[in-house]
Structure 1
């Protein structure tokens, strides 16, 4: 440190000498450790088939601009023993941005599953928690590679790299595309059917990564994308003032939650009630919002009363809200009379908060009801079952990555005006340049973050080929696999998708 300070003082007197150069040389001198690798062998029964599978994983180094390792991506690969070169392989990641792949790993796809309250009626409390075999895992159908992006899990920048270099679309897709290329090369699987499985922001990632793999320097054609709780166009999943579009896209999800909690739609079949909500949102509510203050008194009263019917909220509250209900307010208001706030990830959950007069929830019950179990079980599984011994913590979620993520789409120095994140056109490009690419969109009806109606509207736009998209729905939320009946349905639909027989369930 003293030497560095001296160098900084000299910089003022010696032309060409800069502290930034000194910092760079110190970073360059920092040794790059050898990558940590591990391998264990296991057997299990999946889809009724007994499968022997080695687990291979650890760190894969990604080169920076000068060719030296700049990032280390940690991944866990489940590979069927004696798998042939044409066995399908699926690359899996979660979202955030800033989330490790733990949720899809221990919730849906891995050979072991974290067990939490299926009916959203209890939190996970404290240890010990339960880890169970997961016979619904797809290991009988495809190899599974769980990727933790930089800043999550054990993944990090190394050498002269910085985490911030990868907290943007270009760095994110570049590093993961390179990881996939290296994995296919190392495992001699270039001719295998290839899939991407993403959740939430992971679906945004899957869309721009599919375009990158299709149009980049190394052409890697994908067979399928599994998009769980899609987030391609953020305008439809960003509930903030003055985003008129979001009031429309969120309304059917509010109706689903209100009906679930007995506040609306009682005695009406769910399919019928949600079809009504869709039609109202599209054909009446949207045009009314466009009129704004020019609504007549009769029109305004009709819209208010219909919002009461669908949301279960008090008419005076809706009137005071100017007919515009933000999702965080809805979470707090729906069950305010019971002193509860419903979850954002999953509207089935309801947490008892101390401040019953607050405008919005203090936390997300759908998150804190399950996260402790996932954290404990993942760390236990890594150490005890997979023999992973690392000198740093496994980062389930990086708040820093989320807060520092750069959504800018133009290079520095070029004009760019902030706008909603949108990967719709990138998915279109990937699908139109690769006619073998099939897409499945899985929606939770009680997802209060990425609403199912937004998925329907999004996939009807941008020139996405409709005959290669299947959309399905589940009686759960953002992570629909937390609900065991939904888990079983999702697993069955996954197998159907890989077999090419999954049917689209979108309403006419």
Structure 2
């Protein structure tokens, strides 16, 4: 990449020592792109900064030139005072002159407390990790071109919420409650997005939100907040491995929804009976889903008063589909907790399976117990992602700072009360005939399992009147389905198709 410019300025200077400041300005001295600064600073980012660079990536056999901006934009309080610095990375295709028809996608990851790193350098961006085809770390660490990036069809902004990535609170007196909660998070990010769109002159562009894991809670709430309080209307929302979005599913429903995921995981590890194992996964899962809805949930609803014969029959089927023993299912009153499943499925082989991606194996101190010692998949991901994002931002995009990049940042306590994000997304779609929804899930994700994601989508629109604008896509991998090479290609192509489908034809009005 060629560095074209470096501009750093600050609206709230908390970082520079008094002796180093210009006596007539609150703006720190200019920093040269070619000569490092020798000025001693506190370990804080300026409220506003930008590093610009350019590059190319070959996507679908065509060279796509782009401009990358890594920088910060302030967060203001209600009185207009800068209280925080939010880090972002913005990619614009540089051979497009008219941005009125050019889609713009805002990308958020989850946690809460997780940086935007995951989808940034492994899914939709112009660079991807150095990993093998199944998503495991390889050395040397770093990044390479992503031939499946969606930058050919849309500009992308990756955003790190407060205390994630490089983003930080700047005002020590700022109330943490205005950042760290379901609705507080949505409110300040919507304000930030409004400013970003205005500064970048993107009000006319078709706009999309994509969120992964807790990021799906975030973008579902943002859809309504942007529309109702900022009058910014979206063309689409993409939910990657979605959370429950405030939609209740207690009791038998909650207990039963994991079974299709158990079946997928057991199939992957060849732990099913021979007749099921020889079937293709896509042929097997509909059968397990039908059993879950039509037999398992009704049986669990009877609790301890279920007929003994029926209890035995249900236990046999749950064991058959989950890969666990019938005795184990009965001992757990027909319901298997996910953590126990991760521990028990391969217990006899001395292995555990990963929470976020059951393809990953772990080794515990003892084979006994009711839960794994650690998340095998997460340690693997941090192994490959952490050096890569630090190298990429600092050495490729040339964003120089002593601030630590928080893969997971301190955002707790987090206020989860009054989570109505699923209903908010429904209302935003009802009010906006242009808006479409796509859900993407990995079959081997045990944290936000794929069948639970389907249930979420079904419950968002209980009337069924908007289901023609909703779609579900499943993949043979886990929470970050894009880490598997085959699914990286397929899932990005699904986003391309979704964008094309949700762009109205010329002259097509937003009306029912």
The verdict on a shared fold, with TM-score over 0.5 as the criterion, is yes
Deviation at 1:483, TM superposition (A): 0.7
Deviation at 1:162, TM superposition (A): 4.1
Change (3 A) 1:391 1:163: farther
Q: Distance in 2 between matches of 1:257 and 1:422?
A: 31
C-alpha distance after superposition, 1:148-203 (max 9, x if no partner): 00110111112242444201123211221122111111111110010111101111
Separation in 1 of the partners of 2:420 and 2:262? 23
Which moves more between the two structures, 456-465 or 90-99? 456-465
Once the two structures are superposed, the pairs formed by residues 103-502 of structure 1 within 5 Å of their partners are 103-119=118-134, 123-124=136-137, 128-159=140-171, 160-216=173-229, 218-233=230-245, 243-264=251-272, 265-398=276-409, 400-401=410-411, 403-409=412-418, 421-463=419-461, 465-500=466-501
Q: Find the counterpart in structure 2 of residue 14 from structure 1.
A: none
| SS of alignment partner, residue 147 of structure 1 | strand
Classify 1:34/1:107 alpha carbon distance in 2 versus 1 (closer, same or farther; 3 Å): closer
Question: In the superposition, relative to structure 1, how do residues 272 and 45 fare at CA in structure 2: closer, same or farther (>3 Å)?
Answer: closer
Pair 1:93 & 2:116 matched:
no
Unaligned ranges ≥5, structure 2: 1-43, 504-512
Q: Which structure dedicates a bigger proportion of its chain to helix?
A: 1
Distance 2:367 2:155 in 1: 48
Aligned residues: 451
Question: Secondary structure of 1:36's match?
Answer: strand
1:52, distance to aligned residue in structure 2 (A): 2.0
Q: Structure 1 residue 369: deviation in Å?
A: 1.6
What is the CA-CA distance between 1:224 and the residue it aligns to? 0.8
Query: What secondary structure, in the 3-state scheme, does the structure 2 residue paired with 1:375 have?
Result: helix
Measured in 2, the distance between the counterparts of 1:405 and 1:442 equals 26
Deviation track 1:47-78 (CA, whole Å, cap 9, x = no partner) reads: 33322212113111111022101121110101
Deviations 1:99-120 (A, max 9, x none): 0000000111111101323336
- Superposed displacement of residue 33, structure 1: 4.6
Q: Which runs of 4+ in 1 moved over 6 A?
A: none
Q: TM-score, normalised by structure 1?
A: 0.85
**Match in the other structure for 1:55:** 68
Q: How far 1:501 moved relative to its partner?
A: 8.0
- 2:79 aligned to which of 66, 75, 84: 66
CA contact (8 A) 2:142 2:387 kept: no
- Shift in CA distance, 342/235, structure 1 to aligned 2, threshold 3 Å: farther
Residues 480, 487 of structure 1: 8 Å contact kept: yes
Root-mean-square deviation over aligned CA pairs: 2.0
**Offset, 1:35:** 2.3
Alignment TM-score, normalising by the size of structure 2: 0.84
* 109-118 vs 246-255, greater mean Cα deviation: 109-118
Offset of residue 92 of structure 1: 0.4
Q: Is 39-48 or 431-440 further displaced after alignment?
A: 39-48
Cα distance in 2, alignment partners of residues 212 and 233 from structure 1: 15
* CA pair 290-48 structure 1, distance change in 2 beyond 3 A: same
With over 3 angstroms needed to count, the CA separation of the structure-2 counterparts of 1:101 and 1:453, relative to structure 1, is same
The structural deviation recorded for 1:82 is 5.1
Deviates more, 1:288-297 or 1:332-341: 288-297
Deviation at 1:347, TM superposition (A): 1.1
Q: Distance in 1 between matches of 2:236 and 2:460?
A: 19
What displacement does 1:222 show?
Answer: 0.4
- Give the whole-Å Cα distance in 2 for the aligned partners of 1:116 and 1:404: 34
Note if contact 2:70-2:397 (Cα within 8 Å) is conserved in structure 1.
Answer: no
Structure 1 unmatched runs, 5+? 1-30, 410-420, 503-508
